A and B are shown apart, each in its own frame.
Chain A
Amino acid sequence: MSINAWLLPLILFAPAVGALLLTLIPENRPDLVRRVAVLVTGISLAGALHAIFHYQTAAGGFQYEVLKPWLPQLGIQFHLGVDGIGVVLLLLHALCGFTGVLISYSIKQRVKEYYIFYLTLITGVFGVFMSLDLFCFYFFYEMAVIPMYPLIGIWGSDVKEEGRVKYSKQYATMKLTIYLTLGAVVALVGLLALYQWTGAQTFDIPTLQAMLADEPLSTAQQRWIFPLLFIGFGVIAPMWPFHSWSPMGHAAAPSAVSMLHAGVLMKLGSYAIIRIALPLLPQGAVYWLPWVASIVVMNILYGGFVALAQKDLKLIVGYSSSSHMGYVLLGIACLTPLSLTGAVMLMFGHGIMTALAFAIIGQLYDQTHTRWLPDLGGLAHQIPFIAGCGVIAAMASSGLPGFANFVSELLVFMGGWDKYPVQIVCGALGVVITSVYMLRVVRGTFFGPSKPEFEGHVHDAKTPFEKLPFIILVLALLITGSWPGPMLRLLESSTGPLVERILMNEPNTAPDSIQVHSPAKPGHASASNEHSEMN
């Protein structure tokens, strides 16, 4: 009970405390500001690493739990805890946040305000990944959305096409904020309905889960609530056709924010679906997920095709993100242990990959002041290191073996093959499309003859400190991709029981077979009860 009791609060509040500290630092000390930011995100990263290495895979379930009453009148608790899924995403966020702080060294204006918003954002996302209480969850979820507005609005850049402004950053950031809030409030209604119809007077996810395992909501209720939650959270996932905030949001954001945004923020939606919608509304999930499986094919293919038509680097990566998140949603929709594990693994892999991609584009943009593909070219001559990272990011994105993305996509495909072969085939086609536009980017940006206008103006990441964020991200991708076993075991300890629980509610099992299963249910419930009491 030593460090484990306060590990999660440490990770969560280190950035928050950092943000508060920053308010006390005078604005003319940007270096101090940056150092504080590095320090606090470093603490979080160390904590996340500790959490992932000391997670008891054999025991499974939620660990490092913290449980304090918060608003007892409504059954709201400050309940933190992570299972295998949460701990992986915690690491993802810690990595992206930390490297993002390093990448943000290129921010020269209004540094203090920038880091305050940035650290607030980080706190919010951490909170979401470790909340085990619906109220906590929503609380941090909204908290993570709002700082995006000033971060993009102030430090972002307009998205241009042929030199004309295509989406102004104000438009992009407002759309993003409102869209995500709209999604959040739709989900909120679903959550409140869930709370109400359960009648449990508690927001505690494990407790609700145990209760609903005993007395599930009626099928009709589940079918009502599930789409509210799925669409509400799907907006941020981003599910087609609710994705349009995302590419332009990525494109307009400053690079470190794009890193967090595409790398982590988009995962909040799918995480919420896995954490809340699936376990609490199994019948709703079983009813709706076949539809989802077909819709997300649109994500994959459509996102890929739109990316093919783009010429702004960030828009390309933005649409590719929306395409790749389709795999995550597909993995969720397939609802098998393999596909779900793959989906979460892809959340990790894609997060790191996109963070890397945006870090690179940020470096390019800071120096060349353009992201317009036809204006770029031959940059490998000037910035070989970053170009190398660019190739790695492109390859990871195209699902090259050795990177986490390959493993996860493979798992999604294998897990989903029995249920949705057609969708899986379309998904595999998406991989081809990805490589087409990704290679186009690499070729158009880095390859070709050296351009005189970049000669002498564009500088590579030279010092180890400048290289550090890139190296961290590349290593994270490579290690988890070439040796995925440990992470998969970690994830399986959570995804396996989850899917098992849901599929007990499969409607096409005849009523008598439910009878056969039902003795197992109280066992499950009591097991998780015991578990939550143990901690």
Chain B
Amino acid sequence: MVEAHSAAAAVGATDPALLALAGKAAWAILLTPLICAVAILLVGIHRKSFAMAAAVGGLATSLICTLFLFFQASQGHLAVPFEVSVTWISLGGLSIPFGVLIDNLSLIMTLVVTGIGSGIFLYSVGYMHDDAAASRYFGMLSLFAFSILTIVLSTNWIQLFIGWELVGFCSYMLIGHWYAKPSAAAAGNKAFIVNRVADFGFIIGILWLWSVSSTASDDRTVHFATLMARLPVLVESGAVPVATLSVIGLLLFCGPVGKSAQFPLHVWLPDAMEGPTPVSALIHAATMVAAGVYMLCRTFWLFEMIPSTLNVILYVGAATAFLAAALGFAENDLKRILAFSTLSQLGYMVMAIGLGGPVAAMYHLTTHACFKALLFLGAGSVIHGTHEQNIWKLGGLTRSMRWTSLTFLIGSLALIGFPGLSGFFSKDEILVLAREHNLPIYLLATLTAGMTAFYTGRLWFVAFMGKGHAHGHESPPVMLGPLFFLAGLSVVAGYIGIPAWLGEHHEAFHWDVALTSTAAVAAGVTISWLLYSKRAIAAGSLVRALALPQSFVENRYYIDDIYTWYVQNIQQKIIAAGCAWFEQNIIIGAVNAVAALAQGLGRLLRLFQTGVVQTYVLVFVAGVLWLITRYLAVR
């Protein structure tokens, strides 16, 4: 049945035996989590420990396979990119493969997913230990791992879209894990639907791209490698106008706007914090939300050809980075602050794409995955220990939860770009790019870096320092372990040469940019220290001074309100209710009217039936007269 065929794009150096093994490993990366998910849902739904073991074991297997491939590739034994796939749909001229594409980009992303994922899975074992529905949780986590790997390892647009939708579903299920909470259920819905709206554009982009991918209707393709080879030729020959391609690009960009929560579809991400914290760490910080960025990197050859679309991407990313950072100022929920920071950082990454730097974007994605997962897990540890997530009700955690605080601090520093930590390097790459290409954006990005430092500082000073009243207990080792692991990664990720792995070689360190950003960061931290730790400036007066922007920010720019207003008033009250009215009164009404007409006609006809015999005779005679006058014909 399964016709596996491996197409080594770079033919040559690979030993056939190794290639075969690599193919198996590649499949194993993708499929092990799926098998585990199915196993959990089928047999482990009431066996918690089985579910945990299966989920962690499954992802660990994927991790091992990834590492194997990674080392083979980095040692040069294995020629990348290589691809194994089966034909999922083959119908007439249409052929949709389903497979695994291994190259440097996918390997690094797979490592992020399986590596950080394994840590978070392990952490969940502790975090969800008492949860009654832990089996479902782990099943969904495994399914999620499969789904995100489907995206990451995808060889074509349709497979990417499949993974894209599946992660959306897992995200929905996991956000709504505690479905008894109405807010959680609502947040899940919101996340799914917002993503659906974005995917509407995305799938149309894919369809359109598919339809222009060849001049012959039975030769079209969704396959990345083929498209990559073919599109430039098509554009050059004029078969595909650049304008068309730009529109396609914009439509495709809709996908990341939703999945990576870019402005204005970012609204679902803060709400998604209703889910269990490990979920926030894995899905809504490290991997899934980064999938949009990954997709843009994966298909950057396409966006390269359409600078106008790249510009749009740039501005959307920059706007998201800046606006989300500002939202972090007024938020009091520990996880939501992190969520806004995630938004802002995703904005950075998208901006990097827009600036033409997929490597920088991927670099930042990787480092961000490490430290943001760390931060979320730390937050999770805090919540696990204190059952509180309002930062103003926390405080003094450095005393009660020392290890958590330490790792959280490392994460925070990496986030704000403290020199020497991973975030510093990756952010720097983006800023450099920005300065090269677009000065206003560069300034905005630097300002955003300062703002990041400010709200991160605020979070740290309020929740961890300060006079403590939070009585927390330190988390169990199974949770602390991943924290340390991630903290380590956050420190070293800047030094292991990720850009080089991704194919960037100039690596000149720009002192001016680094210094400017560090200054901005320092300023941010200082202001927050003055405000929240030293209390040198009364926060209240500042709020009064900035009343207008404050209310704007507190209401999240009213975007949620606008959407709610649209849904409640336009969609439900006008469109849906209007259609329902039309249905009830016009469509059903018309049918009823026809029925009533028949009944009425019957009643009318029966007026002849007076019961009086002479009337009957009269009608009889009238009928005869009618026949005679109507049909008598002279031949």
A residues at B contact (CB < 8 Å): 175, 178-179, 241, 243-245, 302, 305-306, 308-310, 337-338, 341, 378, 380-381, 391, 395, 398, 400-402, 406-407, 410-411, 413-414, 417-418, 424-425, 428-429, 431-432, 435-436, 439-440, 443, 446-450, 483-485, 488-489, 492, 496
Q: B207 touching A413 by the CB < 8 A rule? A: yes
Q: A485 touching B89 by the CB < 8 A rule? A: yes
Chain A, interface SS category = helix
Q: A401 touching B204 by the CB < 8 A rule? A: no
CB within 8 A of A488: which of B89, B576, B590? B89
Other A-B contacts than A302-B582, A448-B179, 5 sampled, CB-CB below 8 A, are: A310-B580, A413-B207, A417-B208, A428-B203, A448-B180
By a CB distance below 8 angstroms, the chain A residues around B583 are: 244, 302, 306
Q: B165 touching A401 by the CB < 8 A rule? A: yes
B593 nearest CB across to chain A (Å): 12
A484 nearest CB across to chain B (Å): 6
CB within 8 A of B162: which of A243, A401, A425, A489? A401
Q: B572 touching A338 by the CB < 8 A rule? A: no
Q: Which 6 A-B pairs have the closest CB atoms?
A: A309-B580, A447-B185, A308-B576, A401-B162, A305-B579, A309-B576
Given contacts A305-B579, A436-B193, contact A429 B200 (CB under 8 A): yes
The contact sample of 25 A-B pairs, CB cut-off 8 A, is A175-B595, A244-B583, A245-B591, A305-B576, A306-B579, A306-B580, A308-B579, A310-B580, A338-B92, A380-B179, A400-B169, A401-B162, A406-B162, A414-B207, A417-B207, A417-B211, A424-B204, A425-B204, A432-B197, A432-B200, A446-B179, A447-B185, A450-B180, A484-B88, A485-B88
Chain B residues within 8 Å of chain A by Cβ, number: 53
Residue of B nearest to A337 (CB): B92
Given the complex of chains A and B, what is the CA–CA distance between A338 and B211 in angstroms? 13
Q: B207 touching A411 by the CB < 8 A rule? A: no
Does B445 sit at the interface, judged by CB under 8 A? no
Q: B211 touching A418 by the CB < 8 A rule? A: yes
By a CB distance below 8 angstroms, the chain B residues around A418 are: 211, 217
CB within 8 A of A435: which of B185, B196, B572, B578? B196
Residue of A nearest to B203 (CB): A428
By a CB distance below 8 angstroms, the chain A residues around B193 are: 432, 435-436, 439
Residue of B nearest to A443 (CB): B185
Q: B90 touching A447 by the CB < 8 A rule? A: no
Given the complex of chains A and B, what is the CA–CA distance between A443 and B173 in angstroms? 11
CB interface residues, B 574-589, toward A, < 8 Å: 575-580, 582-583, 587-588
CB within 8 A of B579: which of A309, A443, A450? A309
CB interface residues, B 123-179, toward A, < 8 Å: 158, 161-162, 165-166, 169, 172-173, 176, 179
By a CB distance below 8 angstroms, the chain A residues around B546 are: none
By a CB distance below 8 angstroms, the chain B residues around A398 are: 196
CB interface residues, B 174-197, toward A, < 8 Å: 176, 179-182, 184-186, 188-189, 192-193, 196-197
By a CB distance below 8 angstroms, the chain A residues around B217 are: 418
Residue of B nearest to A449 (CB): B180
Given the complex of chains A and B, what is the CA–CA distance between A331 and B373 in angstroms? 45
By a CB distance below 8 angstroms, the chain A residues around B200 are: 428-429, 431-432
Given the complex of chains A and B, what is the CA–CA distance between A496 and B92 in angstroms? 8
Question: CB-defined interface of B50-94 with A at 8 Å, one 1/0 digit per residue?
Answer: 000000000000000000000000000000000000011111101
Given the complex of chains A and B, what is the CA–CA distance between A302 and B200 in angstroms? 18
Q: B91 touching A400 by the CB < 8 A rule? A: no
B275 nearest CB across to chain A (Å): 13
Q: B196 touching A432 by the CB < 8 A rule? A: yes
Does B571 sit at the interface, judged by CB under 8 A? yes
By a CB distance below 8 angstroms, the chain A residues around B587 are: 241, 243-244
By a CB distance below 8 angstroms, the chain A residues around B182 are: 447-449
Residue of B nearest to A435 (CB): B196
By a CB distance below 8 angstroms, the chain A residues around B578 are: 305
By a CB distance below 8 angstroms, the chain A residues around B208 are: 417
Q: B179 touching A302 by the CB < 8 A rule? A: no
By a CB distance below 8 angstroms, the chain B residues around A309 are: 572, 576-577, 579-580
Q: B204 touching A431 by the CB < 8 A rule? A: no
Given the complex of chains A and B, what is the CA–CA distance between A406 and B169 in angstroms? 13
Does B210 sit at the interface, judged by CB under 8 A? yes
CB within 8 A of A400: which of B165, B180, B184, B210? B165
Q: A440 touching B91 by the CB < 8 A rule? A: no
Given the complex of chains A and B, what is the CA–CA distance between A337 and B92 in angstroms? 7
Q: A302 touching B211 by the CB < 8 A rule? A: no
Q: B179 touching A341 by the CB < 8 A rule? A: no
Q: B166 touching A391 by the CB < 8 A rule? A: no
CB within 8 A of A341: which of B91, B161, B582, B595? B91
Given the complex of chains A and B, what is the CA–CA distance between A175 and B595 in angstroms? 9
A270 nearest CB across to chain B (Å): 19
A308 nearest CB across to chain B (Å): 4
By a CB distance below 8 angstroms, the chain B residues around A400 are: 165-166, 169
Q: A244 touching B591 by the CB < 8 A rule? A: yes
Residue of A nearest to B150 (CB): A401
Residue of B nearest to A429 (CB): B200
By a CB distance below 8 angstroms, the chain A residues around B162 are: 401-402, 406
Given contacts A378-B180, A401-B161, contact A431 B88 (CB under 8 A): no
Given the complex of chains A and B, what is the CA–CA distance between A341 and B93 in angstroms? 13
| Residue from the set B189, B208, B572 with the largest chain A CB neighbour count within 10 Å | B189
Given the complex of chains A and B, what is the CA–CA distance between A152 and B579 in angstroms? 26
Given the complex of chains A and B, what is the CA–CA distance between A168 and B337 in angstroms? 53
Given the complex of chains A and B, what is the CA–CA distance between A337 and B591 in angstroms? 36
Q: B189 touching A440 by the CB < 8 A rule? A: yes
| Residue from the set B185, B208, B595 with the largest chain A CB neighbour count within 10 Å | B185
Q: A302 touching B579 by the CB < 8 A rule? A: yes
Given the complex of chains A and B, what is the CA–CA distance between A302 and B587 in angstroms? 12
By a CB distance below 8 angstroms, the chain B residues around A179 are: 591
Given the complex of chains A and B, what is the CA–CA distance between A309 and B580 in angstroms? 6
CB within 8 A of A308: which of B161, B176, B192, B571? B571
Given the complex of chains A and B, what is the CA–CA distance between A70 and B575 in angstroms? 53
Q: B575 touching A305 by the CB < 8 A rule? A: yes
Given the complex of chains A and B, what is the CA–CA distance between A393 and B1 in angstroms? 28
B581 nearest CB across to chain A (Å): 8
Q: B91 touching A337 by the CB < 8 A rule? A: yes
Given contacts A241-B587, A306-B579, A428-B200, contact A414 B94 (CB under 8 A): yes
Q: A413 touching B185 by the CB < 8 A rule? A: no
By a CB distance below 8 angstroms, the chain B residues around A380 are: 179
Given the complex of chains A and B, what is the CA–CA distance between A440 and B172 in angstroms? 13
A445 nearest CB across to chain B (Å): 11
By a CB distance below 8 angstroms, the chain B residues around A483 are: 88
By a CB distance below 8 angstroms, the chain B residues around A395 are: 169
By a CB distance below 8 angstroms, the chain B residues around A449 are: 180-182
CB within 8 A of A439: which of B89, B161, B166, B189? B189
CB within 8 A of B176: which of A425, A447, A485? A447
B568 nearest CB across to chain A (Å): 12
Given contacts A400-B169, A418-B211, contact A443 B186 (CB under 8 A): yes
Residue of A nearest to B208 (CB): A417
Residue of A nearest to B158 (CB): A410
A312 nearest CB across to chain B (Å): 12
Residue of A nearest to B178 (CB): A447
By a CB distance below 8 angstroms, the chain B residues around A413 are: 203, 207
| Residue from the set B166, B176, B179, B571 with the largest chain A CB neighbour count within 10 Å | B179
Given contacts A341-B91, A496-B92, contact A401 B579 (CB under 8 A): no
Given the complex of chains A and B, what is the CA–CA distance between A418 and B218 in angstroms? 12
Given the complex of chains A and B, what is the CA–CA distance between A489 and B1 in angstroms? 13
Given the complex of chains A and B, what is the CA–CA distance between A520 and B180 in angstroms? 65
By a CB distance below 8 angstroms, the chain A residues around B158 are: 410
Given the complex of chains A and B, what is the CA–CA distance between A424 and B200 in angstroms? 11
Given the complex of chains A and B, what is the CA–CA distance between A375 and B466 in angstroms? 48
Given the complex of chains A and B, what is the CA–CA distance between A391 and B172 in angstroms? 11
Given the complex of chains A and B, what is the CA–CA distance between A411 and B182 in angstroms? 37
By a CB distance below 8 angstroms, the chain B residues around A431 are: 196, 200
By a CB distance below 8 angstroms, the chain B residues around A439 are: 172, 188-189, 192-193
By a CB distance below 8 angstroms, the chain A residues around B166 are: 400-402
Q: B211 touching A484 by the CB < 8 A rule? A: no
